[in-house]
């Protein structure tokens, strides 16, 4: 048996949005019962910047500038979790970095019909004029989470311990069955400097390519989408508070309001790897904007047109300028794939967030599913701590899986279905293709005008809150 | 959470039971086969003891005979914790450190088995002594301690790096082989085959837990009296057991032992189950009754007076398999009683 350097109650691997949310959600409960949580992440936190926030605020008055091109759309359900007393992160996100949207407009290959979903469709909500969601900058949300954890780690006795390094190896103590994490900066770190952390429970929040999942021998189903997501921030001709999405046969293109009042927009465009490469690496700024506007406004997006058509009316978004965020790059692309673990736990190791499921970004659900995982797990671990229970107990993890797996699988399948529905394309202009278009249009009209169906969509898209 | 307050029930109970035998000693039940029982007077049934010895390998295995107890555990421990908080059991000297909900509370866990309840209470900060007549069960519980100690032995140099829940589980938690009687005599079954000379009586405890144990003892009344004696005045007795009801017969024996097989056959004898009213009545009249001990020395000091504080049922949720507290006490129930302060 190897010597350990630490024994903790919960070790969270991965300091992404989901891992940090788990840490924030457990911090107070851990302190209340004297339990210890370790948070392992490859990158060190940037040094705390005193005074910087003030200057950010001052600048915000003059000109808003995004932190980076990465944003997440946060559903009301996820917002409630981030805003809960235990997690207490939401209020720390500067207001100009979480932009509400009250309308969602979705259309397909043809410019008509446009499906329209409103905050009003959240009939179960008790807010007046409830938003459908918020577009939140990933960097700001992470920063808010770090701030939250810093306020709770000043107590030496308990709380969240931060460990910088990567998980190199995972094994289990033969007699107690506790997992042992070997953490080092890289594989060449001398053995004496490797941290060996024994934990009652290991939470794998290390993303879609989770190494903990592989080390714990949990299986993974994956399928590439042969698509890449292009992300950038643009200025639009007019501020807006609508999340726009057009489904092209090469993939969906979203225009999401940012900057607090929608003075900027986040472009998330899933398309073929070739086009993505061209858009990010080769296209000039003007060519990029032209391409975005053409893809948004063309009457029939499948027909090649050289000229960008004018937007049908002034409330449609029109990209006018690329915005350089504080942290480069200005444009980025990410390969997309679908992934799911058929089982979320094994031998005191449990999967959360992208380590358990990777979905298509088309409805902006990735982080939200992960935050719902975090909520469920935090609730169960907290209850277990208060009754002195061992948090690595299989029954606890089984209950977590029973709650989360069906919901995640349903969302995964629905997003896959929606993508296929819009990507469904037959040979040009054959009667069959026209019939397919007609069916698609009918489906979209139903989703807009048939209230129960529309509410069902909204309920799914907002996490039922 | 609805909790059945017991006040009215206990006042009613003696009226509903036909003979009110409040201040009469209970007729002794002599069981055959006592020759195999331990050399001193004990409420432990030797046959039951052999059965528990045989289970001991599986105290902590999922799906083993104790898995039903494991599923009851979170709500049993929550009940205990809540009663400790509600009835002000924590010593006021403990400056309520945030990190130890049960800091400074001395608990005697009678019939601790593999440590299913002792461990969680220790993790919450209580100073727990686990007591069980089965040497095998105690060996299992101690082995778990030893494994954990081994695991963190190397990290001990750097104190801060071992979670407080681990340290608490290791330091104040002790296990002893013995019965409640031998414990009171200050003696341990393992250390002495015969009567040890001049044993020191143990310090009274704040809380005595006897979970799923009274249905296995031969003389429940004597057991309760001894439990009361082990408590400090104002201390809490937490007791859980099974009602002698048709529902308990069907659910606790037919279904659990024969249909589902989640409890080994022969674990329970329906005739030994005690109805909640009988239990309350017995607790309220403890101080009136003489002890069951047939000591030549005559009457032992009378048992302390007890009051019953609250009672709740434990019912399984068929969807999740976990138990929760409910007002339905017709199968499993848990109650809290307090040793009345001597000056009251
Ligand atoms: C283009 C794009 C747009 C998206 N838009 C949205 C959106 O609008 N809304 C939405 O909800 N979701 C969106 N998503 C999905 C969302 O980004 C992910 O679901 C989310 O980031 C997953 O968070 P996570 O914490 O599970 O994993 P990650 O963010 O991947 O974090 C994993 C962390 O683990 C660390 N790590 C990895 N391996 C190790 C190791 N061995 N040891 C230690 N640390 C390790 C990494 O450093 C990293 O910090 C989008 C995704 C893409 C690609």
Can you name the CATH fold of A101-136+225-335+440-461? Answer: D-Amino Acid Oxidase; Chain A, domain 2 (3.30.9)
Q: Which residue owns the Cα nearest ligand 1 atom 47?
A: A42
A8 contacts B163? CB cut-off 8 A? yes
**Nearest CA to A130 among A198, A75, A55?**
A75
Q: For the segment A12-28, what is each residue's pLDDT rounded down to a tens digit?
A: 999 999 999 999 999 98
Residue B59 lies in a domain: yes
Q: Looking at the complex, report in whole angstroms how far the Cα of residue A162 sits from the nearest Cα belonging to chain B.
A: 12
Annotate B147-168 with DSSP letters as a single string: HHHHHHHTTTTSGGGB-HHHHH
**Euclidean distance between CA atoms A233 and A331, whole angstroms:** 8
When divided into structural domains, chain B yields a total of: 1
Q: For the segment B84-102, what is each residue's pLDDT rounded down to a tens digit?
A: 988 988 766 555 555 578 8
Q: Which residues contact A54 (CB under 8 A, 6 or more apart)?
A: none
User: Does B305 carry a binding-site annotation?
Assistant: no
**Euclidean distance between CA atoms A69 and B93, whole angstroms:** 56
What's the pLDDT at B192?
44
Reported as a pLDDT band with limits 50, 70 and 90, residue A379 is very high
**Vertex A235 angle, CA A229 and A241, to 5°:** 85
C-alpha dist (Å) from residue B103 to A61, A68, B92, B173 = 52, 48, 10, 13
**Euclidean distance between CA atoms A136 and A89, whole angstroms:** 12
Provide the token pair at B336. 């809290």
Is the beta carbon of A75 within 6 A of some atom in ligand 1? no
Under DSSP, is residue A22 helix (H, G, I), strand (E, B) or coil? helix
Annotate B79-143 with DSSP letters as a single string: HHHHHHHHTT-S-TTS---TT-TTTT-EEEEET-TTTTTHHHHHHTT-EEEEEES-HHHHHHHHH
Residue B123 lies in a domain: yes
SS3 content of chain B, % helix, strand, coil (to 5): 40, 20, 45
**Nearest CA to A354 among A219, A209, A243, A208?**
A208
Return the half-sphere exposure (C-beta side, CA atoms, 13 A cut-off) of residue A402: 10
CB contact residues (below 8 A), chain A span 22-61, against chain B: 31-36
**Lowest-confidence segment of A37-46, A48-57, A350-359, B208-217 by average pLDDT:** A48-57
What's the pLDDT at A457?
80
Q: Specify the residue for token string 């009667």.
A: A431
Q: For the segment B113-125, what is each residue's pLDDT rounded down to a tens digit?
A: 999 999 999 998 8
Residue B264 lies in a domain: yes
Residue B184 lies in a domain: yes
CATH number for position B174: 3.40.50.150
Is the beta carbon of A139 within 6 A of some atom in ligand 1? no
Residue B3 lies in a domain: no
**Euclidean distance between CA atoms A147 and A92, whole angstroms:** 8
**Euclidean distance between CA atoms A205 and A212, whole angstroms:** 9
Residue B23 lies in a domain: no
Residue B9 lies in a domain: no
Q: Which residues contact B330 (CB under 8 A, 6 or more apart)?
A: B243, B245, B247, B248, B313
pTM for this one? 0.86
Domain ranges in chain A? 6-48+151-220+341-414, 101-136+225-335+440-461
The 8 Å CB, 24+ separation contacts for A58-62 are: A60/A94, A60/A96, A60/A260
Q: Which residues contact B288 (CB under 8 A, 6 or more apart)?
A: B22, B23, B302
**Vertex A231 angle, CA A230 and A237, to 5°:** 120
Is the beta carbon of A206 within 6 A of some atom in ligand 1? yes
Is the beta carbon of A133 within 6 A of some atom in ligand 1? no
Ligand 1 center–CA A74 separation, angstroms: 14
> Checking DSSP bridges between strand B306-316 and strand B127-132, what pairing results, if any?
unpaired
**Euclidean distance between CA atoms A345 and A179, whole angstroms:** 12
User: Does B159 carry a binding-site annotation?
Assistant: no
Q: Which domain holds residue B304?
A: 39-339
What's the pLDDT at A449?
80
A386 contacts B78? CB cut-off 8 A? yes
The CATH class of A6-48+151-220+341-414 is alpha beta
ipTM computed for the complex:
0.80
pLDDT value at B338 more than 70? yes
Provide the token pair at B239. 């007791």
pLDDT value at A462 more than 60? yes
What's the pLDDT at B29?
41
Annotate A83-108 with DSSP letters as a single string: TSTTT--GGGS-GGGEEEE-EEEEE-
């Amino acid at each position: 048996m190897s010597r350990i350097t630490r024994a903790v109650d919960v070790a969270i691997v991965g300091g992404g949005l989901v891992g940090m949310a788990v840490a924030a959600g457990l911090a107070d409960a851990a302190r209340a019962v004297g339990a210890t949580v370790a948070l392992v992440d490859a990158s060190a936190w940037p040094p705390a910047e005193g005074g910087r926030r003030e200057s950010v605020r001052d600048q915000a008055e003059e000109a808003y500038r995004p932190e980076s091109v990465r944003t997440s759309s946060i559903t009301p359900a996820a917002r409630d979790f981030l805003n809960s007393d235990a997690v207490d992160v939401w209020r720390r996100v500067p207001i100009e970095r979480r932009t509400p949207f009250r309308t969602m407009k979705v259309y397909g290959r043809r410019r008509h019909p446009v499906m329209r979903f409103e905050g009003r469709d959240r009939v179960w909500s008790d807010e007046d004029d409830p938003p459908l969601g918020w577009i939140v900058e990933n960097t700001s949300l992470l920063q808010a989470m770090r701030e939250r954890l810093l306020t709770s780690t000043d107590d030496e006795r308990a709380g969240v311990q931060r460990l910088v390094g990567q998980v190199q190896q995972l094994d289990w103590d033969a007699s107690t069955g506790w997992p042992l994490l070997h953490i080092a900066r890289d594989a060449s770190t001398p053995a004496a400097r490797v941290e060996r952390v024994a934990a009652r429970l290991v939470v794998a929040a290390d993303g879609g390519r989770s190494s903990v999942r592989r080390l714990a021998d949990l299986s993974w189903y994956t399928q590439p989408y042969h698509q890449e997501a292009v992300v950038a921030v643009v200025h639009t001709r007019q501020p807006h508070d609508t999340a726009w999405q057009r489904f092209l046969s090469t993939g969906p293109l979203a225009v999401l309001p940012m900057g607090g009042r929608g003075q900027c927009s986040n472009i998330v465009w899933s398309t073929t790897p070739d086009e993505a490469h061209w858009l990010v690496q080769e296209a000039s700024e003007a060519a990029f904007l032209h391409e975005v506007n053409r893809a948004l406004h063309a009457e029939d997006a499948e027909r090649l047109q050289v000229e960008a058509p004018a937007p049908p009316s002034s409330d449609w978004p029109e990209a006018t300028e690329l915005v350089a965020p504080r942290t480069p790059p200005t444009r980025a692309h990410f390969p997309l794939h679908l992934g799911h673990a058929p089982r979320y736990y094994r031998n005191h190791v449990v999967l959360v967030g992208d380590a358990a499921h990777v979905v298509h970004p088309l409805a902006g659900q990735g982080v939200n599913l992960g935050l719902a995982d975090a909520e469920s797990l935090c609730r169960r671990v907290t209850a277990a701590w208060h009754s002195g229970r061992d948090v690595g107990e299989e029954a606890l993890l089984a209950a977590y899986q029973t709650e989360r797996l069906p919901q995640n699988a349903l969302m995964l399948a629905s997003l896959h279905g929606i993508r296929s529905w819009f990507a469904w394309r037959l040979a040009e202009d054959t009667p069959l293709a026209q019939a397919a278009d007609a069916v698609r249009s009918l489906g979209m009209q139903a989703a807009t005008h048939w209230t129960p169906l529309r509410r069902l969509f909204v309920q799914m898209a907002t996490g039922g809150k | 959470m609805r909790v059945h307050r017991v006040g009215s029930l206990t006042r009613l109970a003696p009226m509903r039971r036909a003979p009110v035998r409040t201040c009469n000693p209970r007729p002794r039940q002599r069981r055959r086969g006592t020759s195999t029982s331990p050399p001193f007077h004990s409420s432990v049934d030797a046959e039951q003891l052999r059965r528990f010895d045989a289970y001991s390998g599986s105290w902590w295995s999922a799906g083993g005979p104790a898995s039903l107890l494991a599923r009851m555990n979170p709500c049993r421990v929550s009940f205990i914790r809540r009663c400790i908080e509600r009835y002000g059991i924590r010593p006021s000297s403990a400056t309520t450190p945030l990190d130890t909900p049960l800091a400074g509370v001395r608990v005697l866990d009678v019939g601790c088995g593999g440590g299913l309840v002792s461990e969680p209470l220790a993790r919450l900060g209580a100073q727990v002594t686990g007591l069980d007549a089965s040497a095998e069960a105690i060996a299992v519980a101690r082995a778990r301690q030893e494994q954990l100690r081994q695991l963190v032995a190397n990290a001990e140099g750097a104190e801060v790096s071992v979670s407080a829940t681990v340290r608490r589980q290791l330091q104040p938690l002790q296990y002893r082989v013995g019965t409640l009687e031998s414990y009171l005599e200050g003696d341990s079954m393992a250390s002495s085959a015969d009567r040890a000379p001049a044993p020191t009586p143990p310090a009274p405890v704040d809380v005595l837990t006897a979970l799923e144990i009274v249905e296995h003892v031969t003389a429940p009344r004597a057991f309760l009296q001894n439990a009361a004696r082990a408590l400090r005045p104002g201390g809490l007795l937490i007791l859980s057991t099974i009602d002698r009801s048709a529902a308990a017969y069907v659910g606790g024996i037919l279904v659990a032992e024969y249909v589902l097989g989640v409890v080994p056959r022969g674990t329970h004898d329906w005739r030994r189950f005690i109805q909640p009213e009988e239990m309350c009545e017995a607790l309220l009249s403890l101080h009136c009754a003489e002890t069951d001990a047939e000591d030549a020395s005559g009457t032992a000091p009378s048992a302390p007076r007890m009051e019953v504080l609250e009672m709740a049922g434990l019912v399984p949720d068929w969807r999740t398999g976990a138990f929760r507290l409910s007002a339905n006490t017709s199968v499993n129930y848990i109650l809290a009683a307090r040793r009345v302060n001597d000056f009251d």
